[in-house]
Each structure stands twice: as C-alpha cells, then as structure tokens.
Chains A and B, each alone.
Chain A
Amino acid sequence: MRSPARTFSTVLMGILMLGIFVAASTPAFGQDGTSSPRTITDTRFVWPSWDSIVRVALMRDHNTRIVVLGTTLLGLAAGLVGTFAYLRRRALMGDALSHATLPGVALAFLITGEKNLPFLLIGATVTGILGVLAVLAIRQSSRIREDAAIGIVLSVLFGAGMALMSVIQSTSNGNAAGLDQFIYGKAASMIRSDARMIGITALVVVVGTVLLFKEFRIVCFDQDFATSMGRNATVVDLFMMGFVVLTTVIGLQAVGLILIVAMLIIPAAAARFWTDDLKMMTVVAGGIGALSGWLGASISALLPKMPTGAIIVLTAGALFIFSMTFAVRRGILAGAVRRIRLRRRIALQHLLRAMAEIEERTGQPTSVDSNELLTMRSWVKSDLRKLTSRAAGAGLIDKKSWSELKLTQLGRTHAQRILRNHRLWETYLIEHADIAPSHVDRDADEIEHVLSERLIRELEATLEAGKDIPPSPHESMPEFAGAKP
C-alpha cells in the first residue's frame, strides 16, 4: 500500500475507535414519542423485533422516512465532495472545520435564546469558516505546518465551544437541552423542515461538484498547471472548501461534529480501492456515502440507545474495510492473489530452467530425478513434489514418478526461452554493468521473470545476441547453486 493510503487508514482506524467509544459512552437518547421512556439505570440492550426491522426497512414510519432520506442525501454529498477533499489532502481540514462549529452553535443560542436550527447552523457556518481561515493564516504567516495548525485550531475552538456550552447549561432554564446533539449527532430529532433543508443543501453540493468536476480534477492533480492556465487554485479551493463547509454544517445534526469528518474521508478512501478513474471514484464514493447514511440511520432507528452519528460512521467503516479487503483493483486480497500467482510462476520457471540446464549438460532430452533437482536449488521436498505435479498438470513435463521427470516439447520450448533470458541478462550484467560473474546469477534469477518482450529485444540488440542460448558465464557448480538462499 502506498504511504498516503497508509496515513489515511491510520486516521480511519482512529476514527473508528472514536466511533466505538462514542457509541459506548454516550447517554441514551430516546428515539421519539413511540418508544418507551428509559431510566438512566436501564442499561439492558434491547434487540429490535423482526416487525420493527421490516417497518424501518420499508420506511413505513413518516419520521423514519424523513431521517433516512436526510442522512442518505448527506452521505451522497459528503462522498462526492469528500473525494476531492481527499485527493487534495484537505480531508483533515474538514476536521478543524467541524470542531470549530461548536462555539458558533453555542453563540447563536446565546444570542437568539432559542433552539432555532437555521440560526444555530448559521452560527456554526460562521465559526467553521473562521476556523479554516485561522488554519490558513497560521500556516501562511508562520512556518508552522498544516497538521500542527489544524491541531491547534481544532482543539482551541472546540474547547471554546465546550466552555460556552457549560455556560449555557448553568444559566438557561432547561430549553438548552439537546444542544449537545450537535456533538454526537441525533438524526432522530430531525423534523420535516430539517430534512428538507439538508436535502436542498446536499443537492446544491452535488450539483456544484458535478459542475466544477473539471476544475476540481485539475487543481487536485496539478495546481501549478491549473493556475498557469487560468484555473486559479485558490479560487477553485474556495469552492471546494465551501462545499465542505456546507456538508459539514448539514451533517452536524445527524452525525455530529466529532464524526462528520469521517463521512468526508471514508467513502472517498474506500472508493479509491475500486477504481482508477476519477469519475467512477466520485460515483462510488457518493454511493458508499449514501449507503452508509441509509443503513446507518435505519439501524439507529432500530437501536434508539445508539447515537446515529456513531452508527453511520461504523457502517461506513465496515464498507471501508470490505473495500480494502475485497476490491478487485487495489484491495489487499487481490494483491495477495497476484503475489501468489507471481510466486508460482517464478517457481515453475525455476523448475523448467533447472531441467533445461541438466539437458544442456547431457546434450539430449533427459529423464531427471527429483533428488538431483533438490541439489540444484533450495527446494523443500514437499514443495518440489507439488511444483512438479503442477508442471505436469500444465503439460510442461511428463511425471512418471518422483525420480522420472522429463520435459515435454511445450515445456522444453518454455524452458529454453527462460534459460536464454537468464543467460542474456547475466551476460549483460557482466559486460555492461561490470558486476562480478559470481554475483550475477542471483540478480538474473530475480529479473528474468519480469523481463518484458520489449526489454528482451533491447537486450538482444545490445548484446548482438543470436538465437541460441549463450553459454553459462560462471561455473554453475551444483553444490554452490544449492546453497543459495
């Protein structure tokens, strides 16, 4: 895996742990009027009934419908704009931004004195943007790096928010209850107008991202080139970060400010495993985001004790782990399969070459004893047995018994080509790279399997080689060869 991917997966693991922690430690929220009130001492975990699962899955409840629709649209928007924030390495800026929204929510409440969602979100937007600007200002006016600047702004503004919240709690007369839903997220508290606002904003982000796709692409890939041709990276960034702000703010209610950054990073990082095409990556990320929002909100409707944000993020995390493991293009499993195939091919080529070398010595098609092969390379008996069976299965050798192996015509053609490549490369290393003859065997051993047709042709031209196999440049003593690692 490449290093940015590794960095991100470390971050993701952290977010997952945080999600589990939040899920475990948050006090229970009642779902809505329909669920029975619970007391603080009621810590039983109640599994949802089959009936309620069906009700939620089919979105029979009006309230569930609203919540699920809202979080799905949110996930879609976050996945789309997150793709570009991820590629532009701005994803953690979203974290500074989301934490910076808390003092805005608190201040808006202190000023208006009521829990009016649009006002609270405007407050969140204002301090969120101030947070981003503070990061940029610190980075530009000093030599502090971005990661440190993000850490400073994030913690200081979140601290300010927490302080303001406690001021509110100690002074107001109870109508401030539920303000902390912005920290952990509580989709169930969404009402129709909230969902409509989230939907419209998400739509703006989706349409904007689609329209500016070309600009986002070029700035993410090559900002100097983009600027040189009139796509000023700063201006394009302004739009990109603007969409990140909008997504974060509408995500506060459903996912909460601690975890909303996960919705920007995880779908994009997961999508990258599936494709090498930016358009496809954007679509897949949007899909993963939407799926997380939908599944997460549905599950959380069934488990009212769980905060929605944590469930949505855990769902996204599960999709990420699935992608990382099973993705055909860049997944871990696909990579492992490729490596095993390569290892098998190399082992087979070693076998064929060893047999060709024996035939070279005897000067005719020869029946080979496996025990002789064992002395030539550091093969383990059981591995060699499997290897010869595989070669026989592929029609490359005739295997009468352990001690009677013979190259078939097909096998001999392959074997001689492999031996020739090996020798050509050895000769090249000795004649052109000035490497000692005693050292070239192992180098050639590794390289001969990856030589492309074009490289071989160039090798032939450089060495002015004929069609036949060059003689071995070094005394290939079986006991020496057998001692190779």
Chain B
Amino acid sequence: MTPSKTSQARLQIDQVHHDNESPLSIHDMTVAYHRKPVLWDIDYAAPQGKLVGIVGPNGAGKSTLIKACLDLVPRASGSVRIYGKRYKEQRSAVGYVPQRESVDWDFPASALDVVTMGRYGRIPWCIPPGKSDREAALHALNQTGMGDYANRQISKLSGGQQQRVFLARALVQDARVYFMDEPFAGVDAATESAIVTLLRELRERGRTVLVVHHDLQSVPEYFDEVLLLNMRIVAAGPTSAVFTEENLQKTYGGRLTLLSEAAEAIARNG
C-alpha cells in the first residue's frame, strides 16, 4: 500500500470511529508505563457542554487518561480527537489544570505570574507577555476570588488558594474543553464551593469540563456525566443512569485480578 493510501485508509477509520462533534473522542486507546499497561482499550466520546466526573480508585489510571489525551504520556495504541482533530491542531481549544502537587510551589513567582502562564500558548516564542495578558490574568484571578492575592508569592498561599490560582490559569486559556486533575483535592470548603460555581459558569458558557474526582458523595451533585474507570471503562454516561451501586461495586470492588496480572506479566516479559 502506498503512503497516501495508508493515510486515506486511516482517515476513513477516523471518520468511522470518531465522533467529530464531540469535545473529546477516544478510540481504542491503550496506555502503558514501562511497558506495563495501565489503561486498556478505552473507547469514549464526551458529550458537548457537560460537566463530566472521572471517578475510580487509586491507580485506576484517571490522571493517565487525561495525560494520554493531551499527548503528555505516549499512547501504546488508539487515537484521540478533540472536536474531530488531533490534539496538536487543537491546543487553543483545550485548557488543562494539572494536579496541584505536580509543581514546586516554592518557585519564585507571584500568583499573577502563574496565571499569566495560561496565556503563553497564544503568544509566539520569544515574545514577552504584554499588558493585555496581565489584564486577562488579573480578571481571571478576580473571577476565582483571588484578586487581592495577585502579587502574593505562591508559596505563601494556602492549598485552596493555590488551587484557585491553577483554575484562574486555566480560565485565561479561554478553552472549549477543560481537563482538570483533582481540583478538589485538599481544598477548604470555601474553595470547593467556589470551584463548583466556576464549573457551572463554564457549563453555562457552553464549555465541556472533564474532572478527575475522588469524593463519591458529591458526584451526583456536581456532575452531569460520569466515567467510571478502573484500568478500563466500567461505565460511562449520564450520572443518574450510570452512577449506580452495582457499577460502583464493579469499579471499586477489587481490581480485575486477571487484568492486573496480565499487565504484570507483560511488564515482566517486556
């Protein structure tokens, strides 16, 4: 087969397997770390304009799912489309909130500095951020209730305030679909309700938000959709239909022993 035919064939596969209207469409994705599979055969299409909770036990691959969608960890197989296009063609449509613990908060930067980083994607290389970027960042800080802390060194912020800074940074990205990795982890009650309000505002403005979430109790209240994950997708769909006792049992009731053992075996022999 000639290269052009190959790409044509791939294009056809894409059209068949991907929902081009979906903010996030994943087809048959497998992800492995050091050859040990952590996510198996993921097929998923996120609905437009909804708040989606990604829920599952520790080690279920929730963060990995997000990172694989954003090309931050390599996929062993499968493909991902954001509104029908590859991620690298759709960067400006995507906002990302990494886990708060993933960075060193003793870094020499103010809250404003960090939020301004959300605009770097739209500024060309080697050009410093300008006045409009700082204004956008200040606006986002105000939206998250952090306006008074703009010039505060980030190590002097509380955990909840640091999380709000991260959210503000995602807001200035002005994306259509957001990926948030445990934004509710270790935050105070005031921050939690501020984040929820923010998520609902984003939904009202037609944005789609996928959120890795740990607290099962608040899932029905916060999310329209859930994706139950434990190395593979256990169930996905509207919260009312999917978030059932039975599905949770399947997600949390012990690893699928054979799946885990197979992964170990692949890692050992790889």
Contacts and interface: CB of A to CB of B under 8 A. Distances in A.
A130 interface: no
A213 B98 CA distance: 22
Interface in A207-239: 211-215, 217-218, 220-222, 224-231
Contacts of B102: 222, 224
B3 interface: no
A221 B125 contact: no
B126 A212 contact: yes
B117 A222 contact: yes
A218 B126 contact: no
Contact of B70 (A87, A228, A277): A228
B126 A221 contact: no
A2 B104 CA distance: 11
Nearest to A227: B72
A104 B94 CA distance: 46
Given A87-B107, A278-B109, A221 B94 contact: no
Contact of A277 (B88, B108, B123, B173): B108
Interface string A241-280: 0000000000000000000000000000000100111100
How large, as a class, is the contact surface on chain A?
20 to 34
B195 interface: no
A229 B129 contact: no
Contact of A222 (B71, B94, B103, B121): B103
A419 interface: no
B120 interface: yes
A444 to B, nearest CB: 21
Interface in B90-135: 91, 94, 96, 98, 102-104, 106-110, 113-114, 117, 120-121, 123, 125-129
B108 A272 contact: yes
Contact of A229 (B106, B121, B126): B121
Contacts of A214: 120, 123, 126-129
Nearest to B129: A214
Contact of A278 (B106, B113, B126): B113
A363 interface: no
Contacts, number: 80
A211 B104 CA distance: 24
A224 B173 contact: no
Nearest to B114: A221
B67 interface: yes
A229 B155 CA distance: 24
A218 B120 contact: yes
B117 A224 contact: no
A355 interface: no
Contacts of A278: 107-109, 113
Interface residues of B, number: 33
Most buried by B among A87, A217, A220, A231: A217
Contacts of B98: 222, 224-225
B72 A224 contact: yes
B106 A4 contact: yes
B91 A230 contact: yes
B94 A228 contact: yes
Contacts of B72: 224, 227-228
B24 to A, nearest CB: 14
A281 B94 contact: no
A87 B155 CA distance: 15
Contacts of B120: 214-215, 218, 226, 229, 231
A143 B70 CA distance: 25
B110 A277 contact: yes
Contacts of A275: 108
B109 A228 contact: no
Contacts of B91: 228-230
A225 B113 contact: no
B153 interface: yes
B126 A211 contact: yes
Most buried by A among B106, B128, B173: B106
Nearest to A282: B108
A228 B96 contact: yes
A215 B113 contact: no
Interface string A122-151: 000000000000000000000100000000
B106 A2 contact: yes
Contacts of A222: 98, 102-103, 117
A225 B106 CA distance: 17
A217 B108 CA distance: 10
Contact of A225 (B96, B108, B126, B129): B96
Given A211-B126, A230-B91, A230-B121, A221 B173 contact: no
Given A214-B128, A221-B103, 15 more contacts: A87-B108, A214-B127, A215-B120, A217-B109, A224-B96, A225-B98, A226-B120, A228-B94, A228-B96, A229-B120, A231-B121, A276-B110, A277-B110, A278-B109, A278-B113
Interface of A: 2, 4, 87, 143, 211-215, 217-218, 220-222, 224-231, 272, 275-278, 281
13 contacts: A212-B125, A212-B126, A213-B128, A215-B120, A215-B126, A217-B113, A218-B120, A222-B98, A225-B169, A227-B72, A228-B96, A229-B91, A276-B153
